[in-house]
Amino acid sequence: MTLEVADECTQKEIDVIGLGCSKESFTEHSEVEKLIDELRTSAQHQTNQTDIHQYQEQPHLIDSHLDGLLTKIINIIREEVLDYEVKHVAFRCLYFISKVRGYKVVARHLPHEKYLAGTTKAQDMAFYVLAIYLTRPDVKDSYLPGFINWAHEVLSKDSAQFKKGVLSTLAGVFKHGQREQMMEHAHAVLRTILTIKFPPSELLIQLRNRLIFLKPRVASWRYQRGSRSLAANLQQSQPVETKAAISVNDEDDHDYDVPEEIEEVLNEILQALRDKNREVHDPTIPHIEQLEELRSIIPPPPLDISTEKECFDLWMKVMRLDTYRKAVITGLVSSIGSLTESLVKSSSAPFMSYLRQLVAENKLDELNLVTRDILNVFQENLNSVRLMPYIFNILDHLLSSGCLDSVFKSMSRSLLTLIRTEMTNGGKPLKLLISSVDLYCHLLRGDQVTFAKSIIHLLNLLVNRFPRVRKITATKLYETLLTLTDISPSLANHQDHGHSQRH
Which region, left, alpha or beta, applies to residue 111 given φ > 0 means left and ψ of -120 to 50 means alpha? beta
Closest residue by Cα to residue 36 from 112, 100, 84, 97: 97
The predicted pLDDT at position 291 comes to 77
Name the residue with higher pLDDT: 349 or 54. 349
Average pLDDT over residues 310-332: 87
Average pLDDT over residues 256-276: 62
Name the pTM for this structure. 0.46
Name the residue with higher pLDDT: 476 or 194. 476
pLDDT band for position 228 (50/70/90)?
low
Helix-strand-coil split of the chain, %, nearest 5: 70, 0, 30
The full set of domain ranges for the chain reads 11-109, 121-213, 287-383+394-401
CB neighbour list of residue 173: distance below 8 Å, 6 or more residues apart: 131, 134, 135, 144, 147, 182
In angstroms, the Cα distances linking 342 to 68, 303, 306 are 67, 22, 15
Q: Please, what is the average pLDDT of the chain? A: 75
Rounded Cα distance between 427 and 418, Å, is 16
CA 235: distance to chain centroid?
Answer: 50
pLDDT band for position 248 (50/70/90)?
very low
* Tens-digit pLDDT profile for residues 408-456: 989 999 999 999 999 987 678 898 999 999 999 999 988 889 999 999 9
The predicted pLDDT at position 161 comes to 62
Burial of 26 (0-12, 13-18, 19+ CB in 10 A): buried
- Return the ∠ at Cα 394 (arms to 391 and 395), rounded to 5°: 85
Name the residue with higher pLDDT: 460 or 172. 460
Structural contact between residues 356 and 403, judged by C-beta atoms closer than 8 angstroms: yes
Average pLDDT over residues 35-61: 68
Rounded Cα distance between 201 and 280, Å, is 11
Burial of 83-100, coded b for 16+ CB within 10 Å and e otherwise, reads eeebbebbebbbebbbeb
Average pLDDT over residues 240-261: 50
Among 82-96, 117-131, 266-280, the range with the most confident prediction by mean pLDDT is 82-96
Peptide bond into 283 cis (omega under 30): no
Closest residue by Cα to residue 49 from 60, 61, 62, 36: 36
The DSSP call for residue 387 is T
Rounded Cα distance between 69 and 51, Å, is 14
Does 495 score more than 50 pLDDT?
no
Written in H, E and C, the secondary structure of 195-221 is HCCCCHHHHHHCHHHHHHHCCCCCCCC
Structural contact between residues 20 and 54, judged by C-beta atoms closer than 8 angstroms: yes
